[in-house]
Chains A and B, each alone.
Chain A
Amino acid sequence: MMVSVDLLPLLFQGAAVTLQVTALSMVVAFVLSFAAGFARLSRIKSIRVASSVYVEVFRGTSLLVQLFWLFFALPLLGIELTALVAGVMALGLNYGAYGSEVVRSAILAIPKGQTEASIALNMSPWLRMRRVILPQALAIMLPSFGNLAIELLKGTSLISLITMADLTYQGMILRTFDSSRTFEIFGLILVMYFVMAYPLTLFMRWLERRFSAGRV
């Protein structure tokens, strides 16, 4: 492992792409989680049904299948996506589907009395959601969102299979130069993923503590 320094520039380049895709997909997944989670709780039946179809389809088929579908199959329907767009879309849609269940169950977990009290205080539905329900629901959501964030970071490794030059992809490239160093290359990459994921774990634990402070 002493001689690994020459591998680092390319691997850091790859790690930058990994982090970029992770950040973009997180934004997409986060927005979709809330959109689909609220839609599941809608009073209008067709919205509820549409949202649960989205959630079941994206949770029920595998992430890699979705990725390949968007990248290889969709062009045949006339929609051509770049690898980056296909990757961010697949990751965002997939983890958004998982996240929507987190949002839905957290909102449902808030005691009914909170809603009733807000109505009694003459709050508008929007104010009620924003000031009473969501702040409490967010604290419940955090641990699950933290786990999903780490799963998403790990999931980005799959975009190497649709030609995105992320950390995993760079490993496959480096391997072609000298396959006798494969053990070292992938060992190093595993450590790099861990180094990226672990601060996320620690950050989420810290957030959880902050959010649960003063609440019982």
Chain B
Amino acid sequence: MWSWSFTWSILPQILEAMKTTILATIVGFAFALVGGLVLALGRRAKNRAISLGTAGIVEFVRSTPLLVQLYFLFYGFPAIGISLSPFSAGVLGLGIHYSAYLSEVYRSGIDAVPRGQWEASKALNFSKGTMWRRIILPQAIRPVIPVLGNYLIVMFKETPVLSAITLVEMLLTAKMIGAESFRYLEAFTLVGILFLILSYGSSLLIRRLELKWSRS
């Protein structure tokens, strides 16, 4: 059943598509890093309307499927006059979805900064901006870097969903190869193995980094 020569012949095509998968992951993650921080800060806003609104957005985005959010962006937005390419809709969808998750990560980091740090910044007459930038955030973010790293891997594994809005990444490439040759077995297995290698490899890397940092 399994043909090795066919497997080797489609490997370059799938590796080529992996570039799109990885690019979408990186751009989406950059978006989520910024968006998550904005949501985390919004949730702490003194204005109750802003903080409750942000909490509502986070809860809503986390409770609804990425796939439907992508359909909403990709098929729904053109109906109100905003057309997005598959890549930008995909990256935007991933970014928004994971912003909601990352905001909780940031929040736990910010909550873990000792009270004394806030009081000391106030005593030293730092402005709010300086306090956040120089005192709170550096201490809040460092301990949560491994968690952020794990979300990067989770997001990477979520990118095949972007194939549903016609982004030609690894899975859609495999599906098209399968449709042409009716050899789904090799194509999908290959994609699975590539995902396994990359995500398992990077999770081992994160575990090692975590150990290294906790020692120093």
Interface residues of chain A, those whose CB is within 8 Å of chain B, are 56-57, 59-66, 68-69, 72-73, 76-77, 150, 154-158, 160-161, 168, 171-172, 175, 179-183, 185-187, 189-190, 193-194, 197-198, 201
- Within B188-212, which residues are at the interface with A (CB < 8 Å)? 188-189, 191-193, 195-196, 199-200, 203
Q: Which of these, B64, B76, B203, contacts A197 with CB under 8 Å?
A: B64
Q: A56-B196, A193-B63 are in contact. List 6 more A-B contacts (CB 8 A).
A: A60-B195, A65-B171, A73-B178, A154-B63, A160-B67, A182-B76
Main secondary structure of the interface of A (DSSP, over half): helix
User: Which of the candidate stretches B43-51, B107-115, B119-127, B157-165 sits at the interface with the other chain?
Assistant: B157-165
Task: Encode contact with A along B55-82: 1 for CB under 8 Å, 0 otherwise.
Answer: 0000110111111110110011111100
Verify B66–A62 contact, CB threshold 8 A: no
Q: Which residue of B has the minimal Cβ distance to A72?
A: B184
Verify B79–A168 contact, CB threshold 8 A: no
Verify A168–B185 contact, CB threshold 8 A: no
- Most chain B CB neighbours (cut-off 10 Å) among A61, A161, A193, A198: A61
What are 5 residue pairs bridging A and B, where the CB atoms are less than 8 Å apart in the complex? A65-B160, A161-B67, A179-B75, A182-B71, A183-B80
Verify B65–A73 contact, CB threshold 8 A: no
Verify B71–A168 contact, CB threshold 8 A: yes
| Shortest 10 CB-CB contacts between residues of A and residues of B | A157-B65, A197-B63, A186-B72, A183-B76, A60-B196, A154-B65, A64-B160, A72-B184, A62-B157, A61-B192
In angstroms, how far is the closest chain B Cβ from the Cβ of A160? Answer: 7
- Within B141-175, which residues are at the interface with A (CB < 8 Å)? 157-161, 163-164, 171, 174-175
Verify B76–A187 contact, CB threshold 8 A: yes
Q: Which residue of B has the minimal Cβ distance to A189?
A: B68
Q: Which of these, B67, B79, B184, contacts A73 with CB under 8 Å?
A: B184
Verify B79–A182 contact, CB threshold 8 A: yes
List the A side residues contacting B79 at CB < 8 Å.
Answer: 179-183
A160 to B164, CA, bound (A): 10
Verify B158–A62 contact, CB threshold 8 A: yes
Task: Encode contact with A along B16-56: 1 for CB under 8 Å, 0 otherwise.
Answer: 00000000000000000000000000000000000000000
